[in-house]
């Protein structure tokens, strides 16, 4: 076909391509508007002065050892290495898609030998071996008339961005898991201290009961009860230390190290938990701070680009192939002026009847887009719920801590009265030891509530995005949807 006929052939091809129609095929969903569909004002209690977490949000807990552990983990662990490898893999895939839409030029050299039987070839050609040396340049280019190659590249780039954000999410999850485990380690030591204090109290009570039994004042019942309390308190202390050992092992694993690394972690100091606060720009601004939400939205964009690719397959394609070189029977003849070789031109192909392959491919892309939208919507709903759970848990625990602190003050006042009466000779040591027990029980409850409160703030920091600077944020644009 001569080049002058190419426009006519292209127009004819577009007309014939109507045999494979996209009619009736389109995605059924669009990403939801968070502000329009997710009411949060009453649940969040958001304020304009609240801010998203700082990038190193864990420093708010005031423990240099915790800071060092998270910095050590973020410098490199197997989980982060895997996430970074996936980023490089996705970036390479985007590079391949970019290369596929560009022309290529390559050099080739070839020797071709041919022997045709005399029975099927005329005299002078049959029965004689012919050898040809060929040197040439090969040019190939697939014209992107309908934007399929560009859409495939953009989709691969969107997928690479989603994977890059996934790597940031892995870092956030790692930091929050270390913080939560570190808080569990602190609670285990606090529980062991309280159990040891109870064991000492019960031991003093058992000694006093033994003296009273010998003096004939008490019977064996009080003594045996006191001894049982000693054993129970010691068992609680042992269980707490077991939890501390497990927490150290977990921290070592999170650091990507062996269990001996956990043994080098000192007993945590008293941690300070920040007050819960939610910015009043939620839930829409989660799209700029939560890595999982951002990644899910990029996957929606990638799925939309794949729809463009599937639609472009309904139209003709034009490929240009050309070979320019020299050919000769001997190497010495290759560069003679009459040995030039030129071969090539445009090649056009178009779908007419394909048994439904193109329509099913487009329907599959539409369904994949709907799945990506559903995943994004569910991720957004889950993110909002995590924020609500964390902030409400933190506030509820603050109220419980305030209530139990008042109860402990009353128990401490009773203990002071019992101690003063004993010193004045108006009470017994039994009264003092009995008044001490509620104090230790309240201390145990306060330690557990404080740990839950600290872990709730960790959950809130993670739910708000952990202060990450998203490498590729994305803004919703209702006028730029893949199905339009």
Tokens of 359: 């329509």
Strand runs labelled E in 5-54? none
Give the residue extent of every domain in the chain.
3-21+32-101+144-315+350-463
pTM of the entire predicted model: 0.80
CA atoms within 13 A on the CB side of 464: 26
Token pair belonging to 444:
């145990």
Residue 3: per-residue pLDDT: 47
| CA 464 to chain centroid | 14
Q: Which DSSP string corresponds to 191-239?
A: HHHHHHHHHHHHHHHHHHHHHHHHTTSS-HHHHHHHHHHHHHHHHHHHH
Top-level class of domain 3-21+32-101+144-315+350-463? mainly alpha
Provide the pairing of β-strand 340-349 with 317-328.
Answer: antiparallel
Sign of the torsion angle spanned by Cα atoms 259, 261, 267, 271: negative
Can you give the pLDDT of all 484 residues of the chain as single tens digits? Answer: 444 545 555 555 555 544 567 777 767 667 767 665 665 665 666 555 567 778 888 988 889 999 999 999 988 888 888 888 988 898 898 888 888 888 989 998 888 887 878 777 777 676 777 788 888 889 988 888 888 889 999 999 999 999 988 888 899 999 999 999 999 999 999 888 888 887 887 787 777 777 777 767 766 776 677 777 778 888 888 898 999 999 999 999 999 999 999 999 999 987 777 777 777 666 667 767 888 888 999 999 999 999 999 988 888 888 889 888 888 777 777 777 677 888 888 888 888 777 788 889 899 999 999 999 999 989 988 888 888 888 889 889 989 999 999 998 888 888 788 878 767 777 667 777 777 788 888 888 988 999 999 999 999 889 888 877 776 666 544 334 433 3
For 472, counting Cβ atoms within 10 Å of its Cβ (0-12 exposed, 13-18 middle, 19+ buried), the class is middle
Sign of torsion over alpha carbons 402, 408, 409, 410: positive
Say how many residues make up the chain: 484
**DSSP, residue by residue, 139-192:** EEEEE-TTSHHHHHHHHHHHHHHHHHHHHHHHHHHHHHHHHHHHHHHHHHHHHH
Degrees, nearest 5: CA angle 197-456-437: 20
Kindly report the number of other CB atoms within 10 A of residue 133's CB atom: 18
Distance between CA atoms of 370 and 360, rounded to whole angstroms? 15
Copy the structure tokens of residue 54: 């700082």
CA dist., res. 182 & res. 174, Å (int):
12
Give Cα separations from 272 to 60, 333, 352, 389, 470 (angstroms).
7, 87, 70, 20, 28
Instruction: Note if the bond before 74 is cis, omega within 30 degrees.
Output: no
Residue with tokens 């048994």: 355
Cβ proximity of 260 and 333 under 8 Å: no
Please state, in angstroms and rounded to a whole number, the distance separating the CA atoms of residues 29 and 340. Answer: 58
pLDDT at res. 305: 92
Q: How far is CA 419 from CA 407, 416, 430, in A?
A: 18, 5, 10
């Amino acid at each position: 076909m001569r080049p002058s006929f190419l426009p006519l052939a292209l127009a004819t091809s577009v007309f014939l391509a109507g045999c494979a129609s996209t009619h009736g095929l389109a995605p059924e969903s669009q990403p939801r508007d968070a502000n329009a569909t997710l009411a949060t004002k009453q649940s969040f209690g958001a304020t304009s002065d609240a801010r998203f977490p700082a990038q190193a949000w864990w420093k708010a807990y005031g423990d240099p050892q915790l800071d060092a552990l998270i910095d050590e983990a973020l410098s490199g662990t197997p989980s982060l290495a895997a996430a970074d490898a996936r980023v490089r893999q996705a970036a390479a895939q985007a590079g391949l898609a970019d290369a596929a839409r560009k022309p290529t030029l390559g050099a080739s050299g070839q020797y071709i030998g041919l022997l045709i039987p005399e029975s099927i070839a005329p005299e002078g050609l049959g029965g004689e071996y012919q050898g040809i040396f060929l040197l040439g340049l090969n040019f190939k280019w697939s014209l992107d008339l309908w934007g399929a190659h560009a859409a495939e590249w953009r989709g691969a780039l969107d997928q690479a961005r989603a994977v890059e954000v996934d790597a940031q999410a892995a870092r956030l999850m790692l930091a929050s898991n270390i913080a939560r485990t570190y808080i569990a380690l602190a609670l285990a030591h606090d529980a062991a201290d309280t159990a040891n204090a109870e064991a000492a109290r019960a031991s003093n009570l058992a000694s006093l009961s033994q003296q009273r039994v010998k003096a004939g004042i008490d019977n064996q019942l009080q003594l045996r009860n006191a001894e049982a309390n000693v054993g129970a308190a010691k068992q609680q202390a042992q269980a707490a230390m077991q939890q501390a050992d497990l927490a150290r092992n977990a921290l070592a694993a999170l650091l990507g190290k062996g269990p001996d690394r956990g043994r080098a972690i000192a007993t945590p100091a008293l941690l300070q938990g920040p007050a819960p606060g939610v910015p009043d720009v939620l839930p829409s601004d989660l799209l700029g701070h939560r890595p999982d939400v951002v990644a899910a939205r990029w996957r929606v964009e990638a799925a939309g680009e794949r729809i463009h690719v599937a639609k472009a397959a309904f139209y003709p394609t034009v490929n240009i192939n050309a070979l320019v070189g020299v050919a000769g029977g001997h190497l010495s003849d290759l560069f003679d002026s009459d040995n030039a070789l030129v071969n090539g031109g445009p090649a056009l192909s178009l779908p007419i009847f394909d048994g439904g392959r193109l329509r099913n491919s487009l329907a599959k892309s539409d369904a994949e887009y709907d799945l990506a939208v559903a995943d994004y919507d569910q991720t957004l709903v889950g993110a909002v719920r995590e924020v609500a759970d964390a902030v409400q848990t933190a506030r509820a625990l603050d109220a419980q801590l305030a209530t139990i602190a008042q109860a402990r003050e009353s128990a401490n006042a009773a203990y002071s009265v019992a101690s003063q009466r004993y010193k004045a000779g108006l009470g017994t040591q039994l009264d003092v030891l009995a008044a001490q027990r509620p104090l230790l029980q309240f201390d145990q409850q306060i330690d557990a509530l404080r740990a839950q409160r600290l872990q709730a703030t960790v959950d809130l920091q993670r739910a708000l995005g952990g202060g990450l600077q998203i490498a590729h944020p994305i803004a919703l644009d209702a006028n730029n949807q893949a199905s339009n």
